[in-house]
Amino acid sequence: MSDEHKPVPASEGENPFIGGEHTYATVTDKIAAIALARRTSKGWVLGFLFSFALMQLLLVAVGYLLYKGVGIWGINAPVYWGWAIINFVWWIGIGHAGTLISAILLLVRQEWRTSINRFAEAMTLFAVSCAGLYPLLHVGRQWFGYWLLPLPNTMRIWPQFRSPLIWDVFAVSTYATVSLLFWFVGLIPDLATLRDRAKVKFAKTMYGIFAMGWRGSAKHWYRYETAYLLLAGLATPLVVSVHTVVSFDFAVGIVPGWHTTIFPPYFVAGAIYSGFAMVLTLTIPIRAIYGLQDFITDRHLDAMAKVMLATGLVVAYGYMMEIFMAWYGGHPYDMYMVLNRMRGPYAPGYWALIACNIVIPQLLWSSRVRANAVFLWVLSLVINVGMWLERFIIVVTSLHRDFLPSSWGMYYPTKWDVMTFLGSIGLFLTLLFLFVRLLPVISIAEMRGMVSSPTDKEGGHH
């Protein structure tokens, strides 16, 4: 259970991505025990209470917002998109790692994903829930939020299909639906395991309802595998499409700093970058607390760190291209925007973002850094902050210098902006705590596939 657990070299173990001695039974015991433990640990209760209290900030902030209107936020001419949109993009980006891990890594048969996919998918789902809140709160008259959907209505009008904001509605709702389905379908065999192992009648019944009558017959497995693969196929384009559409919110607008063709790929890379950072932020403490080092090994952390490094470099390329194109295009407004980011009133934010997203993550080139869980954890936090700053810089610095100097202005968040953001972190953590307590954090069924079969093991106990 110590943090210095050494990864098993590939030559020694049959599967380098599982440490220790494990059979079907021990895998099931170990993971199911977390969800089925009769006693709730003190640490969990404290953590949950903290998250729940944090979530109340959201409740208060949203309640006052509904009463008073979006004027309580710092948005005003010329910056009409403030923290709400920044947080929306930040949260939705975080979700992307989950989908990448579960769908793309499944299709390209990266076995190491098995240990982290359940957890990352849950993270996706909760991050999308947090993200989805913001545009809804930002519309001003939230009770008309359903106008965003193409529903038959008494007004004989449809939403403006030419607006990227409507594409966003479709992209995000599709994403949320597919992510939920994917996560749930993956859970079914595990829910059945929990149903069979639960001692309490209520738990048995609840797990039983959601297991939907899973008996583990060959027919069940066949259908399950087919459905899972199909959903993976459906989810794969979403990894790319959702953040592409989010980037259109900016790129379609004729605003220097937004109106660039590099936005879609650079947003997608940024999303995966921040998503993997968040997965690390969450998995490192959880594997330490629940002693899951055998399943989430240092090699997993290493692999995730490499993905971060790669996507981080794509993001760095994006930043460089923005500067290059502003110079190469010779457009005075574009050039001014770039210089204003570097030297204007928000310059500290810009340089902090460069430090967090580009300079500091270069440490990941070192394998010693990648092997150090504590160091990785701190680094992942730095990247999370950096990616938030990136969205801040994109949204605020592009808007606060309008084409006419007479309409220039500054943007400052209010306490309500801060409360809403902290509250959404509270919501995210609350959901995460409930998930960790009630559901298997690692896919039991798939982990069983990772260990060698029980008959092999019985003879060869070394």
| Residues of the shown chain interacting with other proteins in the complex, contacts defined by CB under 8 A | 152-157, 195-196, 204-205, 208, 212-213
Of 346, 171, 362, residue with least CA distance to 271? 171
Name the minimum Å distance from CB 441 to other proteins.
24
Q: Which is nearer to other proteins, 200 or 342 (CB)?
A: 200
Chain position carrying tokens 């999303």: 271
Q: Of all helices (H) and strands (E), which one includes residue 242?
A: helix 218-251
Q: Which amino acid appears at position 37 of this protein? A: A
Question: In terms of CB distance, is 140 or 409 closer to other proteins?
Answer: 140
Q: Which is nearer to other proteins, 204 or 259 (CB)?
A: 204
Minimum distance between the CB of residue 203 and other proteins, rounded to whole angstroms? 11
Q: CB-based contacts of 226: which residues, under 8 Å, 6+ apart?
A: none
Spatial separation of the C-alpha atoms in residues 114 and 177, rounded to whole Å: 22
Q: Quote the Cα angle for 439-131-412, to 5°.
A: 135
**Token pair for 397:** 């610095």
Nearer to other proteins, 77 or 157 (CB): 157
Q: Between residues 198 and 292, which has the closer beta carbon with respect to other proteins?
A: 198
Residue nearer to other proteins on the CB measure, 196 or 302: 196
Work out the angle at residue 324's Cα, subtended by the Cα atoms of residues 318 and 330, and round it to the nearest 5 degrees.
135
Which residues neighbour 174 within 8 Å (Cβ) at sequence distance 6 or greater?
238, 242
- The least CB distance from residue 438 to other proteins, in Å, is 18
Query: Which residue, 242, 367, 364, 366, is CA-closest to 312?
Result: 364
With respect to other proteins, which residue has the nearer C-beta, 213 or 449?
213
Q: Closest Cα to residue 248, out of 229, 264, 232?
A: 264
What tokens were used for 427? 């919501």
Work out how close the CB of 154 gets to other proteins at its nearest, in angstroms, rounded to a whole number. 4
CB nearer to other proteins: give 69 or 329: 69
Residue spans of alpha helices (H) in 69-116: 83-99, 105-107
Residue 19 CA to residue 296 CA, distance in Å, equals 8
d(CA 287, CA 297): 9
Distance from the first to the final alpha carbon of the chain: 21
CB 153, min distance to other proteins, A: 8
Contact of 440 with 27, CB cutoff 8 Å = no
* DSSP single-letter state for residue 253: S
Could you tell me the smallest distance in angstroms from the CB atom of residue 184 to other proteins?
Answer: 14
In the complex with other proteins, the residue whose CB is nearer, 11 or 160, is 160
Smallest distance from the beta carbon of 212 to other proteins, in angstroms?
7
CB of 78 to other proteins, least distance (A): 22
* CB 264 to other proteins: min, Å: 30
CB 15 within 8 A of CB 386: no
